[in-house]
Structure 1
Amino acid sequence: MRRVLLVGAGEVGVKHLAALAVMPGVTVAGVADPAPRTALLPQGVQVFASTPVALAALSPDLVVVAAPPGVALTAAREAAGAGAAVVVEKPATTDPAALAPRSGDGRVFVGFQPHFAPGLARLLAERPAVVRAEVTLAVRRDPAYFRSWRRSYATAGGVLHQQAVHGLALALRLMPGTVETADATVVHRRGLAETEDHVTAALALTGGRTVHVDARVDHHGPPRHKLDLHLADGRRLHVRGRNLGAGLGDPAAAPTDEELRRAMYAAVLDAADGRPIHPCLFPLTALRRPLEVIDRVYRDARIVRAHAAAA
């Protein structure tokens, strides 16, 4: 039985607990959180106030980090240094420079569970030539969502860090090159602390490749997050689902979010056992490029405030 430590028992941590609870061969041995939602924790699970204390007490095989950015990166590296395999929630940090390689980073993977959706393993293994990618996100996040650490760009980032990063990171995995130009607009309408309502961007990469992003959190319809890929040979591939979860398959038969999480945990444990790295796993070291691209978008963007948006 593999022992799991969960770092962070907030709303995202509880989702991990639900997925781990029905995964064969693993048991949640403890939770590290200075202020956990104890009513939501499984009975009998040990609770620790800090990650180092929990690591020393439990010697876990797998550590799942569901803490806010910045805190998450520190905890993930502590866990890797203790010898555990690690899954850390995106974006782990909002500072690309913080991802300069360190010893142990090879044991850390970013929790992009939608990248385990049907058909994406083959896509990521074969890496077809993609010339244009279109990332679309349309969800509803009301003011109450942007509380605590989410109120500040410095601690949470923006819509691209927290919401659209699954699709953008997947597109960039398939598209080499650096950003030559970034034409972007960031719109603030509802006063969501420092977070925007809508961001659009057209990125030109070296080699003539382009990435287009349309991401909003003020959408009134059903949530969706999709990625359209235009291949050099003329084909088009469509990654679909509420959060890419249908992959290249039938949206009506999409796996659940819990199923995708369990596939991700299993792949991380396999990697820790020395088996070949699953093509869908996203190494921590690979996260730096998406964060650098996101930084470029926000740095170059035109900022539209409420009074201008209403015009």
Structure 2
Amino acid sequence: MVKFAIVGMGHIAKKHIEAIENTEGAVLAAVCDTNPERLTGLPAEVKTYTDLETMLKENEDIAVVNICVPSGLHAKLTNIVANHKRHIIVEKPMALKVEDAEEMIRVAKENGVKLAVVHPNRFRPAIQKLKQKMEEGAFGKLSHANATVRWNRNQAYYDQASWRGTKEFDGGVLMNQAIHDLDLMLWLMGPVESVQAMVTTRLRNIETEDVAAAVVQFKNGALGVIEAATTIYPKNLEESIAIFGEKASVKISGRTANFIETWDIEGVTEEEKAQVIAEINNDPFGKPGHQCIVEDMIQAIREDREPIVTGEDGLAPVKLILAILESAETGRKVTLS
């Protein structure tokens, strides 16, 4: 059995607990949170701690630590865990600064531990089908892509905790909500060359943006359009990713991007198209992405390979988001290094 621990027992920790419980060969051995009130209601065999260092020192058999604290603390805690020679699964965004993310990658490599970043949307059945078609070259020359997040996060959401919506610990709609879709865009389209953007804070009383719009140019010459907002009334409206090429047009959408809205690919018959859509509609959510990441970490340890979603993968959307924010602040096109 591979023993896991979780640090940070807020809302997202529930998904990590379920992922570990549902993964063969994984067991939750300990949890840690500075607030002891969050350490109740757990099975008796799960040890509880309010100090991360103490948990690591007293449990040398813990192999993997899942980091679920506010985003601004990811880098600090990742480095502590890595220096204790434990593997790491860190929630998105992996960090709020490029230099912090780069340090996390460096410290993990120096200590010989594996670092995985939680980008679970990659494992959605419809997204997997789209990725497969792109790898087969079904799109031909790529034209452009579109990533849209039209969601509602009302003021009560941000008022749940003092760190929400702050620049130091949380980030805005790009870092907190749209980062999953930017990860998908980069995973599908490749790296970005440059970006021009505008962001604003229209409706929520927060430090960061609640609406963002950007146009990017990928290194392959294709363009991309990004729209993200938490201001949609009265509830989540749409999350979508669309890819367009000379031989194909595909859009994955819905309130969350789990359903095929458009699947027009050269050489794919209407019958084949209907079969794909029916297959997705029969199981649009598939195995939870957090569970896929936990399972992959166990296999990565056993096979001594990199996780599917690496630290470098986690760094890429952080770089893009910070370039978007820089472009919005300066009013200029920003070229990514």
Q: For the superposition of Structure 1 and Structure 2, which TM-score range results when normalised by the shorter chain?
A: 0.7 to 0.9
Question: Which moved further from structure 2: 6-15 or 111-120?
Answer: 111-120
How far off its partner does 1:102 sit?
0.8
2:312 to 285, 299, 303: 285
2:182 corresponds to which residue?
A: 168
Query: Pairwise CA RMSD of aligned residues?
Result: 2.7
CA contact 1:227–1:244 (8 Å) conserved in 2: yes
- When residues 293 and 144 of structure 1 are mapped into structure 2, their CA distance, relative to the original with a 3 A threshold, is same
Contact 1:187 1:197 in 2 (8 A): yes
- Code of the residue aligned with 2:150 in structure 1: it is A
State the partner residue of 1:30: 30
Residue 9 of structure 2 aligns with which residue?
9
The answer to whether the Cα contact below 8 Å between 1:240 and 1:251 also exists between their aligned partners in 2 is no
Further displaced range: 216-225 or 47-56: 216-225
2-structure distance, mates of 1:53, 1:65: 16
Is 1:259 aligned to 2:291, yes or no?
no
- The CA deviation string for residues 200-248 of structure 1, in whole angstroms up to 9 with x for no partner, is 11112344221211111122244532211123x4212333454434588
Letter in 2 for 1:226: S
CA positional deviation for 1:127 = 7.6
Contact kept? 1:241, 1:251, Cα under 8 Å: no
What is the aligned partner in structure 2 of residue 114 from structure 1? Answer: 121
- One-letter code aligned to 1:78: I
* Residue aligning to 2:169: 155
SS in 1 for 2:95: coil
Match of 2:157 in 1: 145
Contact between 1:85 and 1:269, CA under 8 Å: does it hold in 2?
no
The answer for the alignment partner of 2:267 in structure 1 is none
The more displaced of 6-15 and 43-52 is 43-52
After superposition, the Cα gap between the structure-2 partners of 1:85 and 1:240, relative to the gap in structure 1 and judged at 3 Å, is farther
Rg bigger for which structure? 2
Q: Does 1:297 align with 2:332?
A: no
Which position in structure 1 is the counterpart of 2:106?
102
Q: Which runs of 5 or more residues in structure 1 are unaligned?
A: 304-311
SS of 1:67's equivalent? Answer: coil
The question of whether the paired residues in 2 share the 8 Å contact of 1:179 and 1:293 is answered with: no
- Paired with 2:47 and 2:94, the residues of 1 have a C-alpha distance of 24
> Secondary structure at 1:300's aligned position in 2?
helix
Structure 1 Cα separation of the partners of residues 235 and 71 of structure 2: 29
CA distance in 2, matches of 1:177, 1:90: 19
CA contact (8 A) 2:5 2:28 kept: yes
Opposite residue 294 of structure 2, the aligned amino acid is Y
* CA distance in structure 1 between the partners assigned to 2:72 and 2:136 by the alignment: 31
- In structure 2, the residue corresponding to 1:153 is in which secondary structure? coil
Q: CA deviation at 1:61?
A: 2.2
Q: State percent identity of aligned pairs.
A: 22
2:266 match: none
Change (3 A) 1:127 1:153: farther
Cα distance in structure 2, aligned partners of 1:86 and 1:215: 29
* Mapping for residues 175-194 of structure 1, pairs under 5 Å: 175-182=189-196, 184-194=197-207
Partners of 1:2 and 1:61 within 8 A in 2: yes
Structure 2 residue 221 is the aligned partner of structure 1 residue 205: no
**What does residue 39 of structure 1 align with?**
40
Q: Distance in 2 between matches of 1:302 and 1:77?
A: 31
Matched AA of 2:27 = T
Q: Deviations over 1:66-100 (max 9, x none)?
A: 11123222222333343333211000211012222
Indicate the residue corresponding to 1:274 in structure 2.
303
Instruction: Provide the secondary structure at the position in 2 that maps to 1:86.
Output: strand
Residues 203/25 of structure 1: CA separation in 2 closer, same or farther (3 Å cut): same
Per-residue CA deviation, residues 134-170 of structure 1 (Å, 9 max, x unaligned), is 1111221111222321131122111111000111011
TM-fit CA distance, 1:130: 4.1
Give the TM-score taking structure 2 as reference length.
0.78
Q: Which SS does the other structure have where 1:145 is aligned?
A: helix
Q: Would the alpha carbon gap of residues 162 and 130 (structure 1) be closer, same or farther in structure 2, given more than 3 Å must change?
A: farther
* Aligned partners of 1:267 and 1:277 also within 8 Å: no
Q: Extract structure 1 runs of 4+ deviating beyond 6 A.
A: none
CA distance in structure 2 between the aligned counterparts of 1:196 and 1:167, rounded to whole angstroms: 17
Which 5+ residue runs of structure 2 have no aligned equivalent?
261-275, 331-337
Letter of the 2:70 counterpart:
P
Distance 1:193 1:45, change over 3 A: same
Note the C-alpha offset of 1:288: 2.4
Structure 2 counterpart of 1:99, one-letter code: A
Distance across 2 between alignment mates of 1:181 and 1:222: 26
Contact 1:114 1:243 in 2 (8 A): no
Q: Which residue of 2 aligns with 1:49?
A: 50
Preserved CA contact (<8 Å) 2:126 2:258? no
